[in-house]
Chains A and B, each alone.
Chain A
Amino acid sequence: MSQLTDMHSAGSRVEERRMLRASAADFVAHTVDHKRTRERRNVLPGYDRSVLKEIAGLGWNGILVPERFGGLGLGFAEMAIVLEELGKGLLAEPITASFVLGTRSLLHGDNPALKDALLAKIADGVLLPSVAWQEDAGGLDASAINTRAENTEDAVRISGRKRFVSGAGAADGFIVSARLGHDIGLYWVERDAPGLDLVYEWRADGTPSAILTLSDVTVKKSAMVASPDVGLRAVNRAIDETAVMVCAEMCGVMRATLDMTLEYMRTRVQFGKPIGSFQALQHRVVDLYVQQELAGAVLNEATALLDGDCDELIRARTASRAKARACEAGLRIARDAVQFHGAIAIQDECNVGLYLKRALVLSAWLGNAGEHRRRFASLSMAA
């Protein structure tokens, strides 16, 4: 379906997007290696540095960075195309964490000098950011945090504990949300800042999820990414944008999983017939296809909204709808893929398990289907 909608884009962008997709697909075709996927599990940084270097070489880390900051200045439609293709090869870590959530948090902040200092380096592939906005209980409320920032005479002192930090494995610095009075500010904290401690929890797919403990970490006032006036809105917007981009990656994961399953159904013979000829399985897999297409359709609607002038409430509601669908579709397709493959899928050697576990990770991050239903409902009542 996403391919269908590539064709709906205006004018010359159709051809550019087609080429971008072909280029990304090509990259994945010569890079994907699930032996490597298995080997890099539970090892920092959680992805292949050489792969990330190649991606930076292609400029994709700067897709969502405006040209004046050294990025490609493209849009969410383009980022979604790249993420979907990378998702098919389980090669998207840590793109969304660093090059969507990281760059967009910076961009939506109100510190021009810091943007100048950091964004060009990020676009160049020499600086890797990660965002620490959640705390122990998780959840989607970016204002429900205890980490505190205190203004001293010439600096800001930050203390607290952040959790569920994605893309931290080799991050050079963190955008940390902290409470200043009643408001939320965002601060750039270098990885080697004194008082910053990092430990890891490991996610189902073997990628790291960091816990940051800040004990009186001191940063310059010039390191304030977003002042308390705009901090909450900035991080909420970045979260919505990232959630939609995670949908794109999830669409890639689910497409690859479904394709793998269909191919298995065509070739696996039992009882003298390919199992794909059994109607019970045909009907069940059609329902998976329907979910895949629905996820693609709402993803396209969400990226179009993000690329246009979008009202905050509509953006948030659409991001929730997209994430809910992507999570449910992605997990359902992955679960059923295991079922359809039978016993072999329970073996680690079979790739299906890798996709199931990535789907689990993408579903849990930035709000699963249930959380987004709740958020959508409360946003709708507030409207």
Chain B
Amino acid sequence: MNVIAEKSKRNWNALDDGHFRAEAIAFIEKNLPQELRFMKRRALWEEMKHWYLAMAADGWLVPNWPVEYGGMGLTPAKQLIWVEELERRGAPLGVVQGPINLGPVLIAQGTEEQRRKYLPKILSGEHRWCQGYSEPNAGSDLASLRTEARLEGDEFIIKGSKIWTSMAFDANHMYALVRTDKTVKKQAGISFLMIDMEQPGVVVRPIRNIMGHFEQCEVFLDNARTHRSNLVGKLNEGWTISNSLLGFERIYNGSPRHCVNALTHLERAARLTGKINDPVFIDRLTQLNFDVLDLGSAYESFAQTLREGGSFGNEVSLLKIWATETCQRITELLIETAGDAGGLFGDVAFGNEHVDVVLPFLESRVLTIYGGSSQVQRNILSKSTLNLPS
């Protein structure tokens, strides 16, 4: 912890953006191996741990954390730059829940004891976290979750199951929303617990997805136990804790990155099939280019607000809706452009070159579902930004 704190004592925010960007690029180029760039599936811990630890050593793993906890204390403006350069080089997501979600929650709302116990282990990679929120009967309606935790002496006894838990097979800890009061309004009876997965009461079943990969999992909790000190915040206040997303994360879901990637696949396929010269195709491609560029303009406006230290409300949901649905339209045109090859899985040959056609399409179907489905985002905008009645 001391070594990390030393390196991140530099005042990164004082650097001008160009200088900071250069440092970010230099770090990534030095430490991110080619085989981890633009991977077609989520990277496993075994594959990316050297990269993870290299970032942790210099503070880059948790740039948004305060310096005293091993982070860089970066402003949202600088965070944006770091993320841009990561995306440009296709850096893997990997085991992100600790650095991105749990860490900030503990910093903002945990006890000093919890911070001392858990934050260093996120940095060292000893604890790898997954997020146990959704359940088979609680997806969009997350507040109706039923996994129960009962306090017996000094321990919570947990029974229930979680689903769509990303990379749970690679994690050894889970933070979960659990029901601790069944007599009140559903949001008011939820608590936020940290759970060690290495115990008999926790069983992980990876789920094969339509991409053919294992990423999401079911996690069965059958009398799993966790000490009462692993409750974050007060009992029955878990819902509010889980809803506190910071400004940067809120716009991140609506960034143009998925669209930009999808467009490169589409333009390649169009070039290789000759469709790039077809006037009808050109018109549809131009519309999609407009859709992505205009997304960029809108994203930039929200990003600029963050840079200036401002904040925004739920109108930011419009970015996720537009970004994800545009990405789907792009991959739909990709399938169409591929013609006969639009039904082939994997890297499809077009002459001497290859384009993966089906995988981008299947991956884009996920985008409008996870992280708050398009329908939920529309509900939010409708109520909170457009003031329409329920």
Contacts of B321 in A (CB 8 A): 286-287, 290
**Distance in Å: Cβ of A261 to nearest Cβ of chain B:** 10
Q: CA A39 – CA B382 in complex, angstroms?
A: 36
Inter-chain contact B322/A301, CB cutoff 8 Å? no
**Distance in Å: Cβ of B322 to nearest Cβ of chain A:** 6
B390 within 8 A of A: yes
A298 within 8 A of B: yes
Q: CA A374 – CA B304 in complex, angstroms?
A: 31
Do A285 and B386 contact each other (CB < 8 Å), given the known contacts A1-B298, A290-B321, A325-B290?
yes
**Distance in Å: Cβ of A281 to nearest Cβ of chain B:** 8
Q: CA A99 – CA B298 in complex, angstroms?
A: 29
Per-residue CB proximity of B305-318 to A under 8 Å, as 1/0? Answer: 10010101001001
B375 within 8 A of A: yes
The chain A residue with its CB closest to the CB of B318 is A290
The one of A262, A279, A287 that contacts B379, using a Cβ cutoff of 8 Å: A279
Which range holds the interface residue count of chain B?
20 to 34
A5 within 8 A of B: yes
Q: CA A370 – CA B388 in complex, angstroms?
A: 33
Inter-chain contact A293/B375, CB cutoff 8 Å? no
Contacts of B300 in A (CB 8 A): 297, 301
Inter-chain contact B294/A298, CB cutoff 8 Å? yes
Inter-chain contact B290/A321, CB cutoff 8 Å? yes
A57 within 8 A of B: no
Contacts of A298 in B (CB 8 A): 293-294, 297
Chain B positions 355-390 with a Cβ under 8 Å from a chain A Cβ: 375, 378-379, 381-382, 385-390
Q: CA A245 – CA B54 in complex, angstroms?
A: 51
Complex interface: stretch among B197-205, B279-287, B336-344: B279-287
B334 within 8 A of A: no
Contacts of B305 in A (CB 8 A): 4, 7-8
Chain A positions 1-56 with a Cβ under 8 Å from a chain B Cβ: 1, 4-5, 7-8
Inter-chain contact A282/B378, CB cutoff 8 Å? yes
A337 within 8 A of B: no
Inter-chain contact A8/B304, CB cutoff 8 Å? yes
Q: CA A294 – CA B292 in complex, angstroms?
A: 10
Contacts of B171 in A (CB 8 A): none
Inter-chain contact A274/B389, CB cutoff 8 Å? yes
Chain A positions 280-330 with a Cβ under 8 Å from a chain B Cβ: 282-283, 285-287, 289-290, 293-295, 297-298, 300-301, 321, 324-325
Inter-chain contact A282/B382, CB cutoff 8 Å? yes
Do A289 and B297 contact each other (CB < 8 Å), given the known contacts A265-B388, A277-B388, A377-B286?
no
Inter-chain contact B388/A297, CB cutoff 8 Å? no
Contacts of B379 in A (CB 8 A): 279, 282-283
A266 within 8 A of B: yes
Inter-chain contact A297/B301, CB cutoff 8 Å? yes
Inter-chain contact A283/B388, CB cutoff 8 Å? no
Q: CA A8 – CA B297 in complex, angstroms?
A: 13
In the complex, how many residues of chain A place their beta carbon closer than 8 angstroms to a beta carbon of chain B?
36
Inter-chain contact A277/B304, CB cutoff 8 Å? no
A376 within 8 A of B: yes
B145 within 8 A of A: no
Do A293 and B389 contact each other (CB < 8 Å), given the known contacts A1-B301, A373-B290?
no
B295 within 8 A of A: yes
**Distance in Å: Cβ of A135 to nearest Cβ of chain B:** 24
Do A5 and B301 contact each other (CB < 8 Å), given the known contacts A285-B388, A286-B378?
yes
A87 within 8 A of B: no
Inter-chain contact B385/A374, CB cutoff 8 Å? no
Inter-chain contact A289/B381, CB cutoff 8 Å? yes
Per-residue CB proximity of A137-161 to B under 8 Å, as 1/0? Answer: 0000000000000000000000000
A276 within 8 A of B: yes
Q: CA A380 – CA B381 in complex, angstroms?
A: 35
Do A377 and B387 contact each other (CB < 8 Å), given the known contacts A283-B382, A286-B381, A301-B297?
no
The chain B residue with its CB closest to the CB of A301 is B297
Inter-chain contact B294/A290, CB cutoff 8 Å? no
Q: List 27 A-B contacts (CB under 8 A).
A: A1-B298, A4-B301, A5-B304, A262-B387, A262-B388, A266-B387, A266-B389, A277-B388, A277-B389, A282-B386, A282-B388, A283-B378, A286-B321, A290-B318, A290-B322, A294-B295, A294-B297, A294-B298, A294-B322, A297-B294, A301-B297, A321-B293, A324-B290, A370-B283, A376-B286, A377-B282, A380-B286
Q: Which 7 A-B pairs have the closest CB atoms?
A: A297-B297, A282-B382, A297-B298, A276-B388, A373-B286, A286-B378, A294-B294
Could you list which residues of chain B lie within 8 angstroms of chain A, going by C-beta atoms?
282-283, 285-287, 289-290, 293-295, 297-298, 300-301, 304-305, 308, 310, 312, 315, 318, 321-322, 375, 378-379, 381-382, 385-390
Could you list which residues of chain A lie within 8 angstroms of chain B, going by C-beta atoms?
1, 4-5, 7-8, 262, 265-266, 273-274, 276-277, 279, 282-283, 285-287, 289-290, 293-295, 297-298, 300-301, 321, 324-325, 370, 373-374, 376-377, 380
